[in-house]
Amino acid sequence: TQLLEQSPQFLSIQEGENLTVYCNSSSVFSSLQWYRQEPGEGPVLLVTVVTGGEVKKLKRLTFQFGDARKDSSLHITAAQPGDTGLYLCAGERWGGGNKLTFGTGTQLKVEL
């Protein structure tokens, strides 16, 4: 059972466009994280959000945790080819024993 569903699964855009990736669940999470993975590498943590409604910005990336702590979004402004990669959300549940549940992933390609 996949607890975290991401959409879209694939996204191909031109440099300079904006985009939003969604991570949705019917479960409540104590925290939610976003990772980026490049080909042949392991995922690398981008951000952790821990408070319902929290918004964090990392340069051109904006991350939001839903008020009910069941969903999150990643918005990229003026995408660049260097943003290309697989974006994964991951949630941790209270009493979950330090385990992360990963989303299905969004493959982003930014072309010149």
Chain residues that interact with other proteins, rule: CB under 8 A: 2, 4, 6, 9, 30-31, 33, 40-45, 48, 50, 88, 90, 92, 97-105
Q: How far is the CB of 1 from other proteins (least distance, A)?
A: 8
- When the beta carbons of 30 and 80 are compared against other proteins, the nearer one is 30
Question: CA-to-CA distance for 89 and 105, rounded, in angstroms?
Answer: 7
Residue among 28 and 45 whose Cβ is closer to other proteins = 45
**N- to C-terminal Cα separation, the chain:** 37
By beta-carbon proximity to other proteins, the closer residue of 18 and 27 is 27
The distance of closest approach from Cβ of residue 91 to other proteins in the complex, given in angstroms and rounded to an integer, is 10
Contacting residues for 102 by C-beta, under 8 A, at least 6 apart: 4, 88, 89, 90
How far, in Å, CA of 90 to CA of 70, rounded?
11
Nearest to 108 by CA among 88, 86, 89, 77: 86
Instruction: Dig out the tokens for 19 from the structure.
Output: 């985009």
Least Å distance, CB 17 to other proteins, is: 24
CB of 92 to other proteins, least distance (A): 5
Q: Nearer to other proteins by C-beta: 16 or 96?
A: 96
